[in-house]
A and B are shown apart, each in its own frame.
Chain A
Amino acid sequence: EPEVTQTPSHQVTQMGQEVILRCVPISNHLYFYWYRQILGQKVEFLVSFYNNEISEKSEIFDDQFSVERPDGSNFTLKIRSTKLEDSAMYFCASSARREGPYNEQFFGPGTRLTVL
């Protein structure tokens, strides 16, 4: 069964460093998403991406964040200068459609980011 994969499973970085979290969505999906969950808190929407551009973003997704689909398979989240409060689990998701039938989002296992 097709699945969303994410690498690495755990990333440790120093404050101020740049990190890139990688995701491989399901191959025939067109819509891509990033969410995060700070430990003990809710899963929060960060950004959605379609047709090589951001379609929606939350207040959390500030100038420190960027997303890219560098090739036909990967979808990345970059944090330019990490802060302690960026420590969280980051989930990637993809869906075939945004609304209507086939709009179910399929989630990856997450990347745990620890900023020291």
Chain B
Amino acid sequence: EVQLVESGGGLVQPGGSLRLSCAVSGFNANGYYIHWVRQAPGKGLEWVGRISDKGHSDTKEYAASVKDRFTVSRDDSKNLVFLQMNSLKTEDTGVYFCSRELSWRCGLWGRGTLVTVSS
């Protein structure tokens, strides 16, 4: 079955770190751009970043709000995509979704994992 499943969310203190995983099944993650999008409680959708396919040299791009704190990476042997989040702030709280891009649109999404940054 073609799907994405996020994991790794939880409660972390401000300034802490967390690594989210996006488990890819039914296709090779390295053949697609994979995005991370988040949603603060009761708020709208915010794009976080993406990693390109292997054919585009695994290029990584980020929103200004997370640049230099978050890193997207991929483990091709395990078909996993990661979001490493450092120096977390309370405003990083929310549900984090991974999604697959095909021709400038993301039609496949995971169900999300909740990250809570609080002391």
Instruction: Tell whether A pairs with B.
Output: no
Q: Which residues of B contact A (CB under 8 A)?
A: none
Q: Which residues of A contact B (CB under 8 A)?
A: none
